[in-house]
Amino acid sequence: MIRGFDRWHVNKHKTVRCIIKRDERYLLVVHNNFLPLNKGKWGFPGGRIEGGESFVDTLVRELREELSIAPGGFQHVGDYLYKDRLHRIYATTFDEPIEWFDRSEIIEIGWHTVADIRTFDQQNRLHTGFELKAVLDFEALMF
């Protein structure tokens, strides 16, 4: 059994996503989404939990697949509700350049300030709607 692995909690969660911070900016991505409601909306990198994976295993796999990066030092920020399912959010800092992303999964990536994310929230341009709250929760944990 993987340390910290809790099958009951994993079954209650749909995805694991990551807040990635560099300096005073946060990485947001636009996932390739077939639902018109979510097209062109910014969100966190990450994805669905596969059978038998822990939260961190899912996150490591998804960041490798989507962005070809392997950050560490993940901090649990919280669990957020979206479409009647929980989504586990972690955060980390990452200072290396992101030179590649999987264009079959992600259309665009960008580094954004909290003010940018607040504007996206006001314009209904965030994928789940909890991105701003999660970033603010992460900032509160840092102090």
Helices (H), the chain: 7-12, 55-67, 114-122, 131-141
Q: Which of 37, 17, 29 is nearest to 91 (CA)?
A: 17
How far is the C-alpha of 3 from the C-alpha of 54, rounded, in Å? 9
Write out the two tokens for 30.
Answer: 């636009």
pLDDT of residue 39: 78
pLDDT tops 60 at residue 10? no
Convert the pLDDT of each residue in 60-110 to its tens digit.
999 999 999 999 999 999 999 998 889 999 999 999 999 999 999 999 999
Residue 11: pLDDT band (50, 70, 90) is low
Question: Which residues have C-beta within 8 Å of that of residue 103, sequence separation ≥ 6?
Answer: 32
Where are the domains positioned within the chain?
Answer: 7-141
Residue 3: pLDDT band (50, 70, 90) is very low
| Residues linked to residue 78 through DSSP beta bridges, in sequence order | 89
pLDDT tops 50 at residue 31? yes
pTM here? Answer: 0.89
Question: Which residues have C-beta within 8 Å of that of residue 135, sequence separation ≥ 6?
Answer: 19, 26, 114, 117
Percent of the chain exceeding pLDDT 90 equals 79
φ/ψ of 131, rounded to 5, equals -60, -45
Q: Name the superfamily (CATH) of residues 7-141.
A: Nucleoside Triphosphate Pyrophosphohydrolase (3.90.79.10)
pLDDT of residue 84: 86
